[in-house]
Amino acid sequence: MNQQTSNLEEVKRAPMVAVMLIGAFVGLLNETLLATALPSIMADFGILETQVQWLTTAFLLTNGIMIPISAFLIERFTTRQLFITALSIFALGTFVASISHSFELLLAARVIQAAGSGIMLPLMMTVMLAIFPVEKRGAAMGMAGIVISFAPAIGPTLSGWLLEFFSWRGLFYVVLPIVIIAIIVAAIYVKNVTKQTFPKIDILSILLSSFGFGGLLYGFSSIGGHGPGEVSSGINGTALTIIIIGAIILTLFIIRQMKMNKPMLEFRVFKYPIYSLSLIITAIVLMALIGAETILPLYMQNTRDFSPLDSGLMLLPGAIVMGIMSPITGMLFDKFGAKWLAASGLTIVTATTFLFTNLSLDTAFSYLVIIYAIRMFGLSLVMMPVMTAGLNQLPVEWHPHGTAMANTMQQVSASIGTAILISLMTTTVANYQPDQTQLEGLTEQEAMAQVAGNAAISGYTTVFWLATILSIVGLVLSFFLKTKKNELANEKAA
């Protein structure tokens, strides 16, 4: 521990934090970087929506498998070793993606990327908790919040702009040199600030974790992994079986961890009620964030015939709002705590999500821009304050496990949420029954276009109704968070 303190005194904190933020930024950026590029990839490889979504789902799936293992890795290796290795793996996946000439190779590259990305985010958050005292964590985590919130938000905009000039492979050409520079800077500035306890490798725990979390995510993702006419058979058959098997394996993993003196992932973090509550709220918020960023580009490009750049520009003001607000929200958290910030933010999220249930075939571009930007403002008041409030409940020695668990739940909720929303959308479209009176006087071609457009709108409307209900649940739960007094009490306990 003294060595860690010495390292903190020797190294410049700012460059180390900066390069870790950059590493986590490019990792999270790639969660949504392909959002506006999905139609182009579909056309390039001749695949369907339900297939191309796996480029996002597989990324989240692999993250969901790697993040639980990250707690073990953080305690086993130095900060420097682990961060540089994670960046290098991510760089390899990015390079493979940039030269992919088949959907299968591109999908494999996304898996490799996520294997590195899944380590970087929990490591960054653990380092933040290690080098900043409780009273300054809000501001520090606010900086992390720029990464966690802004990176996925700016992904669709950046890809939309790049697609005006390059093919979808250009998205990876842009990211690769940034990652290489980050590796070089990390080799200079990153020092070890985390505590190494050298836990023994428990192969059975790693296998149970991988197949449990992986099976659960794969099963839910497979619900939407069929054509519209096959959705119901997927839910009733293979997907449901995989979900059940994944849940059983995950239960065995949890039982094993509870019995171990030094578990790979510490599930006793859930004995802290505010921590558990913060994970539930964060999961709901992330489903709302990722869901909108997946559905809106599909609505704009496939239903409204907007270009990828237009789709990205629609999301840009919201991304900017999120980036500006994250550090401000962090400072507000240090002063007031999470409760009222979260309640205010979720009220805004609920209202704006409800407004998206009114999408039509002629909804104004300005309406989409304004409502989405206001929605992102609301999300910025929730994300990092709630997460920081939860992590502050935990003792120092459980921080790696707390951050790993938090990030695991985020990836699980994002992956499951995306799959459920896509599945709900495709099911609604498949079961849409047109009003025949609206088709009178139209040619056959006009009637088909009208039916297809209305069917798609019904799918988007259903999705945003579900998102509205989830937002209301999150809003109710936010009133059970504690005020600043609880943070101060926890500081004394720590």
How many domains is the chain built from? 1
Residue 282 located in a structural domain: yes
The C-alpha atoms of residue 141 and residue 21 are separated, in whole angstroms, by 11
Residue 424 located in a structural domain: yes
* Whether pLDDT at 161 is above 80: yes
CA-CA-CA-CA dihedral for 233, 235, 237, 239, to nearest 10: 130
The C-alpha atoms of residue 119 and residue 305 are separated, in whole angstroms, by 38
Residue 237 located in a structural domain: yes
pLDDT (tens digit per residue) in 200-214: 888 898 899 888 888
Cα angle 82, 85, 91; round to 5: 140
Place of tokens 């290795």: 85
Residue 141 located in a structural domain: yes
Q: How far is CA 101 from CA 32, 108, 175, 411, in A?
A: 21, 12, 18, 28
Across the range 402-423, mean pLDDT stands at 78
53: helix, strand or coil: coil
Model pLDDT, residue 407: 77
Residue 118 located in a structural domain: yes
* Whether pLDDT at 126 is above 60: yes
- According to DSSP, the residues that pair with 337 across neighbouring strands are 483
| pTM score | 0.75
Instruction: Say which DSSP state 196 is in.
Output: P
The C-alpha atoms of residue 475 and residue 472 are separated, in whole angstroms, by 5
Residue 356 located in a structural domain: yes
Q: Which CATH number characterizes residue 85's domain?
A: 1.20.1250.20
Tokens for 358, please give them.
Answer: 């009114």
CA-based radius of gyration for the chain: 22
Run of H or E including 130: helix 103-131
Residue 417 located in a structural domain: yes
Specify the range with the lowest mean pLDDT, choosing from 264-273, 339-348, 384-393, 396-405. 396-405
Place of tokens 């739960």: 477
Residue 438 located in a structural domain: no
Range of the domain at 278: 2-192+199-433+443-493
pLDDT (tens digit per residue) in 242-259: 889 999 999 999 999 988
Does residue 191 contact residue 6 with C-beta atoms inside 8 Å? Answer: no
